[in-house]
Chain A
Amino acid sequence: MPVPLAADSAPTTFEGATNTVAVLLLLTEFAMLRATLSRSQVRLYAVQSLLVSGLAAIVAADRELPELYALAAVSLALKVIAVPWVITRLLRDAGAEIAGSGAIGAASATLLSLALAGVGFFAVGSLDISSPYLPQAALGLSMSIVLVAFVLMIVRRDVVSQAVGFFSLENGVSLASLVVAAGMPLIIEVAFLFDLLVAVVVFGVLMRVHHHRTSSLSTASLTSLRG
């Protein structure tokens, strides 16, 4: 049984390492919000997924949860390699480079995200939810990632940014699950990841259909259905 984390003592190496990785996850999310090239957004997503897989491996090593190695491996294969490959291929076929402009300026988007990230972090931090696997700060950070991913999907007006926003939201959920549900049976975790893969395929198909119809990846023309 892992030792419960003590809040009032000096942080251990494990706590320091995991908190650093969790903060890096949030920073990559902000970088995605700022990225102007679709390709760099996809790369940032790959980096973020790599960090999540790494974090899973760290938890597996320190807390002696061997199933998490398998999870880290599957998520590495799917989220660091397969998903970015699918989107990059789509981008190459579409010949599109620049991601769609934001509905609001980059500065406003960043400020808005900062505020939301703070709200998410402190709101979840104030809840009485603690886990034996990861420091509680990581849970607050996962909520921040989810909220910033919402901003990314809302302000960007092109299909790639919106899809990457959704995938990175799922990374935030993965982080949350490492904190509160690291012991979840492997079969369930794999089912979640498999579902993600199916979702990626469908996103890819619909992005292609969209590009085929409008010859662009922008969502600016998707305004005919209302009322």
Chain B
Amino acid sequence: MTTVLVLLALVPLLPAAAALIAPPRIVQGLTVASGIVCLGLALALVPHASHGDVHIGILRTDALSTVFVLATAFVYATCGAHSIGYLRHDEKAHDFPRYARRFYLGFNLFAWSMLCAPLVDGLALLWVAVEITTVVSALLVAVENTEGATEAAWKYVLIASVGLGVALLATIFMYYAGAQELGQTYDLAFPPLLNAAPHLPHTAVRLSFVLAVLGFGTKVGLVPVHTWLPDAHAEAPTPVSAMLSGSLLAVSFYAVLRYFQVATACLGPRFPQTVLLVFGIASLLLAALYLLDQHDIKRLLAYSSVEHMGILAIGVSFGAPLASAGVLLHVLAHAAAKGNAFMGAGALVRKYRTKEIGQLRGGAELLPWSAPLFLAAILALSAMPPFGIFRSEFQIVAGGLRADRYGPAAVLVVLVTLAFMGLAVAATRIVMTPATAGSGRPDRGEPSVWMVAPVLAGVIALVVLGLHPPADLAHLLSRGAAELGGRA
């Protein structure tokens, strides 16, 4: 099994290296192949990780991190295929080879850094990996070199770097706390730190946890440090937006969860849960309000990401095993659903050449596949059965009720309903309103089969997660939930 870990940390580097020398066609093929191989490797990890740790050198995975590896690998595979369709209409431009080289170099490195973040063993290496995701994705946001992209990339790199500066402080304080028990030369690896956690000095761990939530929370998109997120998601090329939303936010949330584990073991559950609850409710509230009146389709989806990160934070704050398992399922289902929604939005934007929701009309007539699939993705995001998010949010709310957290659970349900209204109204308008007749009206037809196939894969994954998650996966999620609650 250790080979799988090493391969996961190496395979995406192959297409990244190829992007430097090979022609775009070959790089595209290699990217798709690498994505599918990574997904296969991640799936192969599932049965092993649900029984115990897999460990080699600086790489280590347990049930918790395997969930995030799985989400990232799925988004990588689908977005890699989608990118072929997305870039198709740029192929005639004279600087396309140069653009494709930059795009695929960044795209694969971005996927590589996000796969490495949950796989490395230790808070210090985790910080390094998350920092790499930031710098690579900032360049990817800017890759289209438009005015909006430049502005979004600058805001993103500045705000996220400052957030990671704060997260570095958190790492240092956690090192200080750990050094009191483990001596000066330990390297912040998880198992010893978790074992020593009950004996660590409280002040330092408390400070470290709050700084980590604030610092890594900047990358998660928790309110009030989410301000870079809508800009970057809206201005990046669509496959990159899907990766940012489906897996970068989740991977950053994984970092928060690691600090949460240590803080819970040291301070008891009350303080860490309260911190996450406050940030979660703030995120959910603000995102739900922004969703009600949004004019840009990609910003709409970006605020939906803020909403879902808020749901994750609230779910963890409930502390019930059922809710924690729901959170981990939510990570997977959100990755598939948000990836689908962005890919659908990408097809719409390519067709109409605008992101203005007011001008996107008659989707079902013009895009016979992508538009209904986009609507399905929005319904999945709004937690409609039979999709996976229905099951995960149901578990989170049920877990909250079982843990006697009636107030937060009720607030969660109300705000999610509010968000559903905003999303559903915008999406049904886009898909169902008849298209205006006129000369500017685009022709009927899909831009590319590459933009439909990955979305179909996403729908299948969502339905499987919603109706009947495989037994191995269910084991993985419940073990991950136990690890999160300090009972593994």
Residues of B near A176 (CB, < 8 A) are 169, 172
The answer to whether B162 and A169 have CB atoms under 8 Å apart is: yes
Given A181-B172, A183-B185, A225-B231: A206 in contact with B154 (beta carbons within 8 A): yes
- Bound: A50/B75 CA distance, A: 44
B456 close to A (CB within 8 Å):
no
The answer to whether A166 and B173 have CB atoms under 8 Å apart is: no
The answer to whether B139 and A205 have CB atoms under 8 Å apart is: yes
- Bound: A169/B145 CA distance, A: 28
Nearest-neighbor residue (CB-CB) of B293 within chain A: A227
Nearest-neighbor residue (CB-CB) of B231 within chain A: A225
Residues of B near A210 (CB, < 8 A) are 150, 154
Residues of B near A162 (CB, < 8 A) are 158
Residues of A near B179 (CB, < 8 A) are 181, 183
The answer to whether B147 and A213 have CB atoms under 8 Å apart is: yes
- Bound: A173/B382 CA distance, A: 41
B residues 409-457 near A (Cβ < 8 Å) are none
Residues of B near A163 (CB, < 8 A) are 158
The answer to whether A225 and B150 have CB atoms under 8 Å apart is: no
Given A169-B165, A199-B161: A188 in contact with B188 (beta carbons within 8 A): yes
- Bound: A181/B186 CA distance, A: 11
- Bound: A225/B156 CA distance, A: 12
Nearest-neighbor residue (CB-CB) of B204 within chain A: A129
The answer to whether B151 and A192 have CB atoms under 8 Å apart is: no
Given A199-B135, A206-B142, A225-B234: A192 in contact with B128 (beta carbons within 8 A): yes
Nearest-neighbor residue (CB-CB) of B174 within chain A: A181
B residues 106-144 near A (Cβ < 8 Å) are 124-125, 127-128, 131-132, 134-135, 138-139, 142
A219 close to B (CB within 8 Å):
yes
The answer to whether A219 and B152 have CB atoms under 8 Å apart is: no
A177 close to B (CB within 8 Å):
yes
User: CB-CB contacts of A161-183 with B at 8 A, as 1s and 0s?
Assistant: 01100100110010011001101
> Smallest Cβ distance from A82 to chain B, in angstroms?
16
B3 close to A (CB within 8 Å):
no
The answer to whether A166 and B168 have CB atoms under 8 Å apart is: no
The answer to whether B175 and A184 have CB atoms under 8 Å apart is: yes
A3 close to B (CB within 8 Å):
no
Residues of B near A206 (CB, < 8 A) are 138-139, 142, 150, 153-154, 157
The answer to whether B150 and A188 have CB atoms under 8 Å apart is: no
Nearest-neighbor residue (CB-CB) of B169 within chain A: A173
Given A128-B203, A191-B124, A198-B132: A166 in contact with B162 (beta carbons within 8 A): yes
- Bound: A201/B203 CA distance, A: 36
The answer to whether A159 and B154 have CB atoms under 8 Å apart is: yes
A10 close to B (CB within 8 Å):
no
The answer to whether A202 and B165 have CB atoms under 8 Å apart is: no
Which of B150, B184, B295, B296 sits near A209, CB closer than 8 Å?
Answer: B150
Which of A153, A187, A209 sits near B145, CB closer than 8 Å?
Answer: A209
A residues 184-227 near B (Cβ < 8 Å) are 184-185, 187-188, 191-192, 195, 198-199, 201-203, 205-206, 209-210, 213, 219, 222, 224-225, 227
> Smallest Cβ distance from B184 to chain A, in angstroms?
3
> Smallest Cβ distance from A198 to chain B, in angstroms?
5
> Smallest Cβ distance from A6 to chain B, in angstroms?
20
User: CB-CB contacts of B172-183 with A at 8 A, as 1s and 0s?
Assistant: 110110010000
The answer to whether A185 and B168 have CB atoms under 8 Å apart is: no
Which of B148, B169, B188, B201 sits near A146, CB closer than 8 Å?
Answer: B169
Residues of B near A224 (CB, < 8 A) are 147-148, 151
- Bound: A43/B131 CA distance, A: 26
Given A206-B138, A225-B148: A219 in contact with B154 (beta carbons within 8 A): yes
Nearest-neighbor residue (CB-CB) of A166 within chain B: B161
- Bound: A104/B135 CA distance, A: 30
Given A162-B158, A206-B153: A198 in contact with B135 (beta carbons within 8 A): yes
Given A188-B187, A202-B138, A222-B154: A173 in contact with B168 (beta carbons within 8 A): yes
> Smallest Cβ distance from A227 to chain B, in angstroms?
7
- Bound: A224/B152 CA distance, A: 10
B155 close to A (CB within 8 Å):
yes
B219 close to A (CB within 8 Å):
no
The answer to whether B176 and A180 have CB atoms under 8 Å apart is: yes
The answer to whether B154 and A202 have CB atoms under 8 Å apart is: no
> Smallest Cβ distance from A221 to chain B, in angstroms?
8
Residues of B near A153 (CB, < 8 A) are 158, 162
- Bound: A128/B202 CA distance, A: 9
A7 close to B (CB within 8 Å):
no
A131 close to B (CB within 8 Å):
yes
Interface residues of A (CB under 8 A from B): 127-129, 131, 146, 150, 153, 159, 162-163, 166, 169-170, 173, 176-177, 180-181, 183-185, 187-188, 191-192, 195, 198-199, 201-203, 205-206, 209-210, 213, 219, 222, 224-225, 227
15 residue pairs of the A-B complex, CB under 8 angstroms, read A128-B203, A146-B165, A153-B158, A173-B165, A180-B175, A191-B125, A191-B128, A192-B168, A195-B132, A206-B154, A209-B142, A209-B153, A225-B151, A225-B235, A227-B299
State the 8 A-B residue pairs at the shortest beta-carbon distance, nearest first: A183-B184, A180-B176, A225-B231, A202-B135, A222-B151, A188-B124, A195-B131, A177-B172
Task: Given contact pairs A166-B162, A198-B132, A210-B150, enumerate 6 new A-B contacts (beta carbons under 8 Å).
Answer: A159-B154, A173-B168, A188-B187, A199-B131, A206-B142, A224-B148
